[in-house]
Structure 1
Amino acid sequence: MQNISQSLSLAPLYRHRVFQSTRKVDCHAQVANELSEHDLFWKGDDVDTVLFKAAIRQLQIFMLKYGAEVIVRPRLFNGFALVHMTLSGTAEIEADGQKVCIPQGKTALIAPKRNLRLWWQAGSEQLILKVPMALFDELSAQGQSGPANMPSLFLLPEHAAPHWDLLIQSLLRVLALPGQNDGHTEWISHFERGAAQFLLSQLTSTYTAGPTAAGIAADESADGLIGAGKLQRLDMLEKYIRTRLCAPLALADLANAAGVSVRALNALCHQHHGVAPMDLLRNIRLDAARERLLTHPGANITDTAFEFGFGHLGRFSAYYRERFGELPKQTRGCTR
């Protein structure tokens, strides 16, 4: 069955092109002006940036494509959050120590407190919804529950994706109205509030659920760690992994490095990275291998796989393609 996100009708948005350019300086300046100040690092010269933007009432919708592979480091957002939806390709987002991969059809809410880094695969297209924090505050004042503090990074659950896709399609259809005059004002505001309310409801069910049996079990498995204590354990774990990228490591080794039980480590990794500890280990090794192939055009793929802990070349290639949307040889080919 086709994912709804693959069949979104973007025609109403495509009537509002801000710019299209193959010049890196122009692209950087235009996107910064429309979205947020940021540092932009290009990997390759295949620049074909296009930006579409449409304002509804309180919300703004963007479609952005760079063409080339890029790393973006935005400044902290001032009074807004972004909802990031990958239309094609793959993106990776790291906010305040949390990292998630966002392949085609996945959606994440981003509201960084300290730092943010985004990696976009070459040729990928991203649909971005800019939501003012004032709208979330307004809904909270009206009784819509939500977490006390907006999380830095929240990956929309799989079961919620079809409902979110339908909400986005409704917002896109609003753009097709002949004129957003007073006769449509309340109706349009209803769709905007509905989208924000849906996000708050997903945050509520994830972060503020009552003490159910599952919730109590999760608390126990986290060994009572809270706040900075969790981040410190995760930092210890990542430092341990990065100094042993080619070493054979077991789950018990990772738990010992973080100073927690295996059950607690599993809960922490799922909460902050969305994956199990051994999957996190593999992802960090894949990231390191990709960096090697990007920075060393002549690197041998087999040697690179072994250097970063992958003893089977076929599985390495399969994992690599699953994470980055291309084979290792394609990455190396782009750098030549």
Structure 2
Amino acid sequence: MNSDYWWDEESPAESATAAERRDHWRDYLQRRQGSVGLAFSAREAGSDFGWKTLAQAAGDLQIVRFSSGSVHYRRTARDAQGDGDDGYRVLVPVRGEFKLGQGDQAEIVGPGKVAFIRWDLPLVMRQDEPLESLIMTVPRRLVNGDLADNAPLALDARRPLLPMLVNQINQLHANHRMWNAHDFRVAYRSTLSLLDGLLDRTEALPEQRYAFVAARARETMEGLADDLRLTPDAVAQMCGVSRRTLYTALTKTDGVTPAVLLRDIRLERACERLSYPGAIEIGRIAEAAGYSSVRRFSSAFQRRFELTPQQMRERLLG
């Protein structure tokens, strides 16, 4: 399996017949998701069934945004066993809704809801109208399998983690042109940590919720600190919370404001760069840390570490 990051768009040719469009959709699903049976209403079978997709992936980490005309899906036990995929799928409708059934559960899922599907079990999905949705592949090894196997078919919309999860999936997709394999995996796994939190239905105390937001914010800052466009407001948006909630979570949990934490993470990254062989110019290190001048960088660095950048370099390099 290709481990490099890639993305592509796909849709049937304009000259394709309705039958060819349906066959192409069936082939596409087989390649991207696995074996799924399709059925079309008499009305849809005689029309120009259409679809289009934008897929992005690195290895088995994949998000597909798709839109299609009405269609009914059925995944049998034989399909599931034949594919050998014991993971899960997260579906985030953008427009339209679908009726979903798996085991003894049934849900109608539309915008504002998120479906969670076991891919190793039979399922039916009835889509009676045009639908646009994101579908995220969730490898079993990256989530708590015990929690995932007992998860509800529709994740709890009352949990504040749900909009955080949806926001993060949307961010992964919206930036599809910008990712490289490493950054995509980091962001993807961070998103799955949110999913793990949602799958755990143990009632959390407010302090625990703040701790989770604080940990999520720190993880986001550490992963994206080198992007100087990252601000506390952007971190709050990526975490799916308000700026006030982010401030409260970090000050309660870590005793530090978002701006100070982001500054300190960048200064710690600058300290690491001072130890690199080859003596990177301090001006370049200052710029990478978000400082417009070496003087301002040196002052902030000395307040943080009680040494100037040059003194720290001499200590680190012996």
- What is the TM-score when the length of structure 2 is the normalising length? 0.51
SS in 2 for 1:53: strand
* Corresponding residue of 2:155: 156
Cα 1:56–1:174 shift into 2, 3 Å: farther
5+ residue gaps, structure 1, are 1-12, 141-145, 211-336
| Pairing partner for 1:28 from 26, 48, 64 | 26
Distance in 2 between residues matched to 1:26 and 1:147, nearest whole Å: 36
SS in 1 for 2:167: helix
String of CA shifts for 1:126-181, please: whole Å, max 9, x gaps.
21011211222xxx5xxxxx74552364312224332122211331244221x616
Task: State whether structure 2 residue 56 is matched by structure 1 residue 54.
Answer: yes
* Corresponding residue of 1:190: 186
SS in 1 for 2:11: strand
Paired residue type of 1:154: L
* Corresponding residue of 1:254: none
% same residue? 17
SS in 1 for 2:124: strand
Paired residue type of 1:26: H
Moved more, 101-110 or 49-58: 49-58
SS in 1 for 2:153: strand
Distance in 1 between residues matched to 2:186 and 2:162, nearest whole Å: 20
* Corresponding residue of 2:95: 88
Paired residue type of 2:189: R
* Corresponding residue of 2:8: 16
Task: State whether structure 2 residue 210 is matched by structure 1 residue 202.
Answer: no
String of CA shifts for 1:76-126, please: whole Å, max 9, x gaps.
261321101111111111011210110123211111554200011321112
Structure 1 or 2, whichever has the larger Rg, is 2
Count of residues in Structure 1 that have an aligned counterpart in Structure 2: 181
Distance in 1 between residues matched to 2:147 and 2:95, nearest whole Å: 33
* Corresponding residue of 1:65: 67
Paired residue type of 1:103: G
* Corresponding residue of 1:111: 118
Distance in 2 between residues matched to 1:35 and 1:118, nearest whole Å: 14
Kept after mapping to 2: 8 A contact 1:82/1:130:
yes
Cα 1:38–1:99 shift into 2, 3 Å: same
Kept after mapping to 2: 8 A contact 1:107/1:156:
yes
5+ residue gaps, structure 2, are 1-5, 205-318
Kept after mapping to 2: 8 A contact 1:112/1:153:
no
Distance in 2 between residues matched to 1:50 and 1:90, nearest whole Å: 17
